[in-house]
A and B are shown apart, each in its own frame.
Chain A
Amino acid sequence: MEIMRTRRLLGAALLLCAASVQAQFINERGPMTEPGKTAAVEFLAPDQVTVPAAKPTRVLLHFRVQPGLHVNSHTPHDEFLIPTAFTVPEAKGVRLASVAYPQGKDVTLPADPKTKLNVYTGDFTLDATLVATPGEHVVEGKLRFQACDQRQCMPPKTIPVTMVVTGK
């Protein structure tokens, strides 16, 4: 009888504690985000690929630049401009053997028609060659870019390019 009462009390105490821990977060609105701020470049696809194990295989990576913006191509005309670049950190399982970047488009700003900028706008695709060992691997690639519109430039940014690569 004594044991049952103690167990009931302990159970009630556990429930109370769980409720009060949960209450620390009840009014939270989730992760902090800035309303109205979307990334200038979005990774579209693929989120998973299957490749022959240990064989260099081409994987097309699709990205989208937000309307009204442009990002420097991989080979901008000015040494100060930050090129778009894709990397995959050294990790077990998947290696980035090479990346072929598309040719950019030459554009000028209305305020400076003499200076050509080599940029990507809209959708663009990178041709990456990956080598994977057998098995499933989560690849945490990164795309670095620097975006502008016709009047202003945003700071350089790096977005994650995450996909599951299965070597078979």
Chain B
Amino acid sequence: MKRNTVVLGVTLALLALFAWAGWANWMRRQQQAEQLLANAAKGTLVPNTQGGAPHYSTPLEGKPAPAFALEDLSGHKVRLEDFRGKAVLLNFWATWCGPCKIETPWLVELRNKYAAEGFEVIGISTEGEDLKPGDKAGLERQRDGVKKFVAEMKVPYPMLLGGDALSQPYGGLDAMPTSFYLDRNGVVVAAQMGLSSAAEMEANIHKALGK
């Protein structure tokens, strides 16, 4: 009887060990799969041998930009597909980002210059706060900060919230500002991470417009 109890106990312990090992292995594989997915879109900065801003090389170039639906400052849902037919500059930025503040006036000027030709800028606030879904207070705090920034900088283009949710499909968004230039079919034709110059931005806008 005593021996049977010991055998039963050992058997149960072994089964529990197997179950734990299987679960731990599964978790590991899930993490690896997520990491692979995240790295699939990761870009790299290539030094500029001519002394200008480094070139951001992204695997998304030549591919359709990943779809999204985010809220604007009025709480309305805005979809990337709503802009099909226009050349678009997706500008990921943050209120705490000094270089983002520097380039905003260039974005405003270029947007106004090329709007009539079917060009639009979409600003996407990416505060890096990892808000949980349904964190209304967090989103409201972000909204207030972005509204203030938009009013100060006199931004005329759509401003969306919750850019952190796009981190994985858009290559990790490891630094701000990060911009993607899309042609009228929504295909990525150029990208830039970090501050470049108004001239470089304009050259990329020309690419997006097909000039």
Contact = CB atoms under 8 A, between A and B. Distances in A.
Interface of A: 10, 13-14, 17, 20-21, 24-25, 28, 32, 78, 80-82, 109, 111-112, 115, 117, 146, 148, 151-156
Interface string B13-30: 010011001101100100
By secondary structure, the B interface counts as helix
Given A21-B21, A115-B98, A152-B177, A10 B7 contact: yes
Contact of B128 (A109, A152, A155): A155
A75 to B, nearest CB: 15
Given A28-B28, A80-B145, A80-B149, A112 B96 contact: no
Contacts of B121: none
Nearest to B35: A32
Contacts of A14: 10, 14
Most central of A10, A21, A80 by chain B CB within 10 Å: A80
B97 interface: yes
Given A17-B14, A24-B21, A151 B96 contact: no
Nearest to A3: B3
Contacts of A13: 14
B100 interface: yes
Contacts of B174: 154-155
